[in-house]
Structure 1
């Protein structure tokens, strides 16, 4: 069982978002976190969302309601909270990716052959857009 927590790595960032930061009570092994990163194309927030979904599905299946030392944990409520957190991380990743891609919108201008005025106007517009 290997466990490492280094915030300069993508693995460490996933662990931070999942709150899997304590060696003595680790949730995932390094290989598992790396697998989440691989499955989610090395996008940290998406990998963390997948890890949270994995925890939520396991929690929901194995513990309906646990009572220990007069404390109670509602397994399904914990699972719902984890799924909501996973959804939030995916939304953040979507917004970041959209911002990186120019909000998934681009401009395509058409210039007809021989239209020198249209060509100059297109070049001027391109300079204005690109700064």
Structure 2
């Protein structure tokens, strides 16, 4: 099961090239542990870690006909991470269906609770 969830995280973050992985299995397992096993949240954390690495390593460089823009790539990865977090929230909200139920009330004609009722016979 752990290998399956690691593979799911890899699929979401597009880290599927086994010969050139961005993160190793132990790093992804750590993200899964930090997020309570939530694959989407682990993927979001992994994307943000990759974004930080991209900013630290790639920077913004332009020489002759070659140009790299690490900050722009990092921003795209952060947006993907935000999307994964929103999907995780949506899935969690969908799992809450049935948490609250609407129950029909049975009226005996006495009125709502905490209503002052006339006292007869005094």
Normalization by structure 1: what TM-score?
0.70
Aligned-residue offset at 1:70: 3.3
The number of aligned residues is 105
Max Rg structure: 2
Query: Which residue of the partner structure matches residue 29 of structure 2?
Result: 34
Q: Could you list the runs of 4 or more consecutive aligned residues of structure 1 that deviate by over 6 angstroms after TM superposition?
A: none
Going from structure 1 to structure 2, the CA distance change for 1:70 and 1:85 (only over 3 Å counts) comes to: same
Q: Which has the higher contact order (CA 8 A, sep 6+)?
A: 2
Partners of 1:43 and 1:12 in 2: CA distance? 13
Q: TM-score, normalised by structure 2?
A: 0.75
Q: By how many angstroms is 1:58 displaced?
A: 1.3
Higher helix share: 1
Could you tell me how far 1:88 is from its partner in structure 2? Answer: 0.3
Provide the secondary structure at the position in 1 that maps to 2:19.
Answer: helix
**1:25 Cα deviation from its structure 2 partner:** 1.0
Q: Which structure 2 residue ranges, 5 or more long, are not aligned?
A: 108-122
SS in 1 for 2:68: strand
- 1:22 pairs with 2:45: no
Name the residue aligned to 1:75. 70
CA RMSD, Structure 1 to Structure 2 (Å)? 2.4
User: Is 2:85 aligned against 1:90?
Assistant: yes
